[in-house]
Amino acid sequence: MNILEEIVANKRDEVAAFKTARPMGELESAARRRGRAPDFVAALHSVPMGLIAEVKRRSPSAGPIREPFDAKTIAMAYENAGAQAVSVLMDRKFFGGGEDDFRDVRSAVALPLLYKEFIVDEWQIWHAASLGASAALLIAAVLDDARLRDFVELCREARIEPLVEVHDEREMTRVAALPVRCIGVNNRDLKTFRISLETTIRLKPLAPKECTVVSESGIRSAGDVARLKAEGVHAVLVGESLLRQGAIEKAVKDLMTL
């Protein structure tokens, strides 16, 4: 079993317990009472190159990333530095995230928030909407065509943007056939955790022209950002390289100097 399969297997068990504790109907009602969250795609296009800055405590490959860790302080630094959106990790076992971090970030900033999770069940989409997410990550590698299409439609019903993540040509072809506005290309192979920006550069031409393309993982310098922008990428998702810097605001500004 590779790390992705292990995470997904654990997630199915985790969500089953969550559904017992908090019925989906309760989340749906809470989501429908909320006002519409800030527009995720519009925010990314408000500048020449959008930044989704990530709140992430740890990862299976890197271990703890920043200590001490305060989700509110980090999110406010991102907003002050000019980020267009904030991504919040929801997986607790492997990434140390969860609902508490999401609520802390939501209370601290006005930016669109991405519910970054391994979504395997409708419950998670309504959970995202109930928390005030503007977007939710859908990973093509863990969803078959029928589930992926259903989840895209459910995101629309829940008034959140599906950011559909791909890793290779086959997944991009699958996702390009769906009515999506935003595609993320993960430069990290979720089976081996190897990283290469060439993944985005190779897959970007296969995305529908009208789609917003986000490059994810392995972006460490202003040179990386400039290279991706030159290839027509619209936004980058960056966490670890920012979180490892002492002064986060300066790190964001240095990274996004085009």
DSSP string, 121-154: SHHHHHHHHHHT-SEEEEEGGGS-HHHHHHHHHH
Measured between alpha carbons, how far is 118 from 54 in angstroms, rounded to an integer?
A: 15
Catalytic residue among 116, 122, 130, 187: 116
DSSP string, 145-199: HHHHHHHHHHHHHTT-EEEEEE-SHHHHHHHHTS--SEEEEESB-TTT--B-THH
Please say if 216 is a catalytic residue: yes
Asked if 29 and 36 count as a contact pair (C-beta separation under 8 A), the reply is no
Catalytic residue among 54, 117, 171, 240: 54
Measured between alpha carbons, how far is 115 from 78 in angstroms, rounded to an integer?
A: 16
Catalytic residue among 28, 122, 171, 216: 216
Catalytic residue among 56, 79, 171, 204: 56
3-state secondary structure of 251: helix
User: Which residues does 212 contact at the CB level (< 8 Å), separation at least 6?
Assistant: 41, 44, 45, 181, 182, 183, 234, 235
Catalytic residue among 87, 187, 215, 217: 217
Please say if 250 is a catalytic residue: no
Q: Which residue has the tokens 């022209």?
A: 209
Torsion of CA 46, 47, 48, 51, to 10 degrees: -100
Please say if 56 is a catalytic residue: yes
51: nearest Cα among 257, 242, 235: 235
Catalytic residue among 87, 130, 134, 186: 186
Please say if 217 is a catalytic residue: yes
Catalytic residue among 165, 204, 215, 240: 165
Active site residues: 54, 56, 116, 165, 186, 216-217
